[in-house]
Amino acid sequence: MKKWKVILKTIGRKWFLFLIVIIIIVAIYNPIAAIWMTGITLVLFLLSYVPRLFFNNKLRNFMKKFYKIEDELIARKFKKPLQKIQDEMFELSQKQEKKNWLIIFLNKQYIFYHQETIEAYRKFYNKGYSEKEILDNLNDYKISTRAEIKAIKEYLVKLDRISEREISVKEHREKQRFA
């Protein structure tokens, strides 16, 4: 019994190579059947990506419901392994240059920030607020640490999605002191 499990696992891992060998053998005897087998295989292979596409869309739509959400909470809600969620968030973070949301990697976890959170951050950043002032003003958006504020700034600068400050922190402080 154990021997059959090993054989089946080997076939499972190398199914593509076995399929190519079978198609070549069939092509020798019946080329039309080989063409049909190849077509069916390609269709099945392409269909194997459909569940992943549905999952990616479902994941994105779920994340957009929150101002801020961490990978651990997403994994619990979807009842999926944390590693799978982190892999998906990594893929999304690689394609976020022109997106209006932001995914950062901080303290060994991925954090998603909604478009409104990023716009609020930009607004306070451009007004010349310091990190502490930005943090105080973004409490409604569930941002809780200065490390997050720094990481958001670094990612926005890296992605070239934030411009120079309209008012520097020093000018803002002087304006507050003399107002």
Q: How far apart are CA 52 and CA 110, in angstroms?
A: 19
Query: What tens digit of pLDDT does each residue of 136-146 get?
Result: 988 888 898 99
- DSSP conformational letter for 101: S
Chain segment 6-45, per-residue pLDDT in tens: 776 676 667 777 778 888 888 888 888 888 888 888 887 7
Q: Give me the pLDDT at residue 13, please.
A: 66
Which residue has 């076939």 as its token pair?
11
First to last CA, the chain: 83
Short-list 126, 7, 142, CA closest to 73: 142
Q: Where are the domains of the chain?
A: 2-48, 51-172
Positions in the chain whose pLDDT score sits under 70:
1, 8-9, 11-13, 179
pLDDT at 22: 85
Query: What pLDDT is stored for residue 86 in this prediction?
Result: 93
Phi-psi region of 128 (alpha: psi -120 to 50; beta: other; left: phi over 0): left
